[in-house]
């Protein structure tokens, strides 16, 4: 699918997704924080949910966690401008609470459709919620740095940058994971180059 075709599909999906805030009993923010980045990206990042700064700006990962993510991406040799970034739930949960099971279930099909449209080669899940919803990985503290694959798509699960912002002891863990991620991405690019010859 062309970039234009993907853009049209993403825009249609976003319009459908943002209307969910009109549902009866809705308790998340009414501000939809759409995914950010090129729709034909080879790398996609999935976080948990927008924070207060993201809710105001309408862009994912721009607060403290966003700054940490930028540092981690730089460490891995990945340019944020070449990555599509989204969240498991794309509305701010009041008081920055964890999204409820019902909210996750409502939003999960939208995330699945985004992954299908962007069709990245590797999806990076940040935190337990993203890892569990996207690839069924439980207990991220025991399964961080895990690389799995489904068909031609790879999934890399690690801690959420917020975990490193809150607890400094998590900084070396997440940095090591992103260093490993950088090596994995380079290997995948080599595989891609070999297949294109």
**Which pLDDT tens digit goes with each residue over 30-41?**
999 999 999 999
Residue pLDDT, tens place only, 44-73: 999 999 999 999 999 999 989 999 999 999
Write out pLDDT tens, residues 97-151. Answer: 999 999 999 999 999 999 999 999 999 999 999 999 999 998 999 999 999 998 8
Is the pLDDT assigned to residue 13 strictly greater than 60? yes
Burial environment of residue 118 by CB neighbours within 10 A (0 to 12, 13 to 18, 19 or more): buried
| Rounded-to-integer distance, Cα 129 and Cα 125, Å | 9
Considering the entire predicted model, what is its pTM? 0.93
What pLDDT score does 150 carry? 87
Angle 1-125-135 (CA atoms, 0-180°, nearest 5)? 80
Above 70 in pLDDT, residue 195?
A: no
Amino acid 173: pLDDT: 97
| In this structure, CATH architecture of domain 30-196 | 3-Layer(aba) Sandwich (3.40)
| Higher-scoring residue by pLDDT: 193, 80 | 80
Q: Is the pLDDT of residue 197 over 50?
A: no
pLDDT in the model for residue 159: 97
């Amino acid at each position: 699918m062309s970039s234009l075709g993907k853009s049209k599909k993403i825009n249609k999906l976003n319009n459908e997704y943002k209307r969910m805030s009109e549902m009866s009993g809705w308790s998340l923010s009414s501000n939809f924080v759409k995914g950010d980045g090129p729709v034909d990206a080879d790398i996609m990042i999935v976080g948990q949910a927008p924070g207060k700064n993201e809710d105001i700006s309408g862009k994912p990962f721009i607060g403290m966690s966003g700054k940490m993510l930028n540092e981690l991406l730089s460490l891995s040799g990945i340019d944020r401008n070449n990555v599509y970034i989204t969240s498991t739930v794309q509305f701010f949960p009041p008081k920055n609470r964890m999204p409820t099971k019902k909210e996750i279930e409502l939003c999960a099909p939208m995330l699945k459709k985004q992954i299908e449209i962007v069709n990245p080669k590797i999806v990076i899940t940040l935190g337990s919620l993203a890892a569990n919803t996207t690839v069924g990985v439980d207990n991220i503290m025991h399964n961080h740095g895990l690389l799995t694959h489904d068909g031609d798509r790879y999934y890399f699960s690690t801690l959420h940058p917020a975990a490193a912002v809150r607890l400094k002891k998590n900084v070396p863990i997440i940095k090591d994971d992103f260093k490993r991620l950088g090596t994995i991405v380079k290997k995948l690019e080599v595989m891609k180059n070999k297949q294109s010859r």
